[in-house]
Amino acid sequence: MGLLANLVLVFIAGLVTALATGVGAIPFFLVDDVSDRWNVTLWGLASGIMVAASVFGLIFEGVSNGNGGSVWGVALGMLVGVALVIVSHRVISGTEVNPRQYEEADYKKLVLILGILTVHSFPEGVAIGVSFAELGFEGGIGLLGFTVPLLAIFMTIAISIHNVPEGLAISIPLRAMNVGKWRMVWWAVFSSLPQPIGAVIAFYFVRIARQFLPIGFGFAAGAMIYLVASEFVPEALEIGEGLPSRGYPELVAGVVLGVVLMVPLALIQV
């Protein structure tokens, strides 16, 4: 397959994960509200999935060849990933947006919102892109005429599952505004649109500069683990403040479930 076909496949994989964010709005087609207990558990699930995917998928793949340079490359990439997220958050610290603003925003405001959301969802797109680095090489499985790396399938599934709680978090304030159900789905997907773009950019970069692949794996892993520690877990604990034990049991249960769900996929791709 040519480069263009590969880029299209990677874009589609990123688009699938973005569409999965819309699934987070589906519960509101069935019920009027989602309990804090379930909300905390889902954030824990997302946290467990992302940490497991980063460790068992990206980091393991980055150092699996036993090359010392790869180990240091992954470590450097993780530091860069964490640093970039920290710097990006500081740059936009005064311009954070709430999903409540989506419905009232004009075109220019939506462009700004999408730019801010890029800080949050771009690392996941990078993770998808670097996981496709071995696309077309031996060792993958046949899919739609492509030889797709098992790591790519692993990461696409992991990030898709992880995106569901994010879609729910976006939908809750929109629901409070009586926004229509299908519009909630759209805004949830909108929040993850940078992912397919990030996936294509990262894939193209590691294909033309393969010596930087370990750094790419480390970058995606570091950024996602940091996002879990700095955003997902605090968000879950904030929601769980009114629960017995402040939501810690639900958070831990979700994290454990997320890791357990990812371990079989990790063993398969190994």
114-136 residue pLDDT tens = 666 666 788 889 999 999 988 87
Band (222; pLDDT cuts 50, 70, 90): very high
Band (255; pLDDT cuts 50, 70, 90): very high
Band (79; pLDDT cuts 50, 70, 90): very high
Distance CA 210, CA 146 (A): 20
Contact 166, 190 (CB under 8 A): no
Distance CA 242, CA 253 (A): 17
The pair phi, psi for residue 180, each rounded to 5°, is -60, 150
Higher pLDDT, 127 or 169: 127
Taking CA 51 as the corner, what is the angle to CA 199 and CA 238, rounded to the nearest 5 degrees? Answer: 105
Domain boundaries, the chain: 3-269
Rounded to 10 deg, the angle between the 150-176 and 181-190 helix axes is 130
Distance CA 194, CA 130 (A): 15
Band (16; pLDDT cuts 50, 70, 90): very high
pLDDT at 107 over 80: no
Q: What is the average pLDDT score of the chain?
A: 83
Region 139-156 average pLDDT: 82
Distance CA 50, CA 27 (A): 22
Taking CA 190 as the corner, what is the angle to CA 184 and CA 193, rounded to the nearest 5 degrees? Answer: 155
Q: What's the pLDDT at 199?
A: 93
- Give which of 259, 234, 248, 232 is closest to 37, Cα–Cα: 248
Contact 155, 54 (CB under 8 A): no
Tell me the two tokens of residue 260. Answer: 């357990």
Region 23-35 average pLDDT: 85
Tell me the two tokens of residue 57. Answer: 């998928």
Distance CA 218, CA 172 (A): 33
Q: What's the pLDDT at 135?
A: 84
Tokens 């949050």 belong to residue: 120
3-class secondary structure, 141: strand
Type and span of the H or E element at 75 = helix 68-91
Strands 141-143 and 146-148: antiparallel
Band (203; pLDDT cuts 50, 70, 90): very high
